[in-house]
Structure 1
């Protein structure tokens, strides 16, 4: 095979490989954040996981921790969005439920999705959501107001982490953004 053809094929192969890595970067980064809690990414837990944590908490008498709730909307989302209560004190390992309220102040239906994180960031791997409005898109009709629950617990493993065992408060923050489909509809 001619050296120029071989070099061209190698360059084309490398370009295709780099393009593939470019497409894979976002889902791989998302998976990394969800597994490690990097950047304050919370965990998703099953009912069985929550039951195990609760059983541990009951048997060992874990301490309490304060949870602060925060709600925001992107500039292009004409909603009022806030937690019903700004803070709650929960037993580590025990399930707890918090509610947020959202109201569409516009005269058109708006579909949004909530991004979320916790602070301090390193506690993300211990903050587990069993059910959350943030798992699905939310559509609010003009003037509609809804209550949206989040069922969560703090993993007792936080007590064994040298960096996190003395944390007294975790902030759970949500920001609602318009979905891409809603943005496309608004533009047409």
Structure 2
């Protein structure tokens, strides 16, 4: 028996509603997936811009004038599991006037019989100090490669922004800890005769 025109019309409307619903649901799923993939780089950009999570800042030049406060800056060094390097600061801590540039060195040694590339991740504590901790130069900006049993002194040049003196959340902060952790690179650059330090070539820090 043939369906009535009214019944067929209702069926078509129902199919259209189901199609529209499917499209909307699919669009929502793809949008959420896109946001999840974008979340990591967006979060990193947010941290870099605000110092959130103890992320330090990057500066090209030092402040024109020094501030009024002296703060102790402590240095921490770690090596992730599986990386046969030793890593330590030249000095455990310094007392630094805000606005004054300091240079400290970290000693790192590759104990393996082969070249190894690694990247240093970093943060500062307390976390609210990240927005005022400015690095001019740092070994952590680029991947580092050490030849077999090679050692190197790696510098970090930084200052504490005098603007922290106007931040109420920094009022009682008298110590800041800068922490680094070296992780072995997942996709290290190929080592050639020209880049192998055992052949006597210089490595930029």
Is the pair's TM-score, using the shorter chain for normalization, greater than 0.5? Answer: yes
- Runs of 4+ in structure 1 off by over 2 angstroms are none
| Structure 1 match to 2:65 | 56
SS of 2:76's partner is: strand
- Residue of structure 1 in register with 2:88 after alignment: 82
Matched positions, count: 174
**2:197 corresponds to which residue?**
none
Alignment partner, residue 111 of structure 2 = 105
* Partner SS state of residue 173, structure 2: coil
SS across alignment from 2:168: coil
Alignment of 1:168-187 (within 5 A): 168-182=174-188
Higher relative contact order (CA 8 A, sep 6+): 1
3-state SS of 1:152 partner: strand
TM-score of the aligned structures, taking structure 1 as reference length: 0.89
Length-normalised TM-score, structure 2: 0.82
Question: Counterparts of 2:68 and 2:103 in 1: how far apart (Å)?
Answer: 18
Question: 1:7 pairs with 21, 30, 48, which one?
Answer: 21
Superposition RMSD in Å: 1.2
Q: Secondary structure at the match of 1:180?
A: coil
Would you say 1:166 and 2:172 are equivalent positions?
yes
Alignment pair present for 1:39 and 2:45: no
Partner of 2:75: 69
* CA apart distance, 1:166: 2.8
Cα deviation digits, residues 123-160 of structure 1 (max 9, x gap):
11110001100000001111000010101000001111
Which deviates more from structure 2 when the two are superposed, residues 163-172 or residues 102-111?
Answer: 163-172
Q: Which has the higher helix share?
A: 1
How far did 1:11 drift?
1.3
1:17 aligned onto 2:23: no
Structure 1 unaligned regions, length at least 5: 183-188
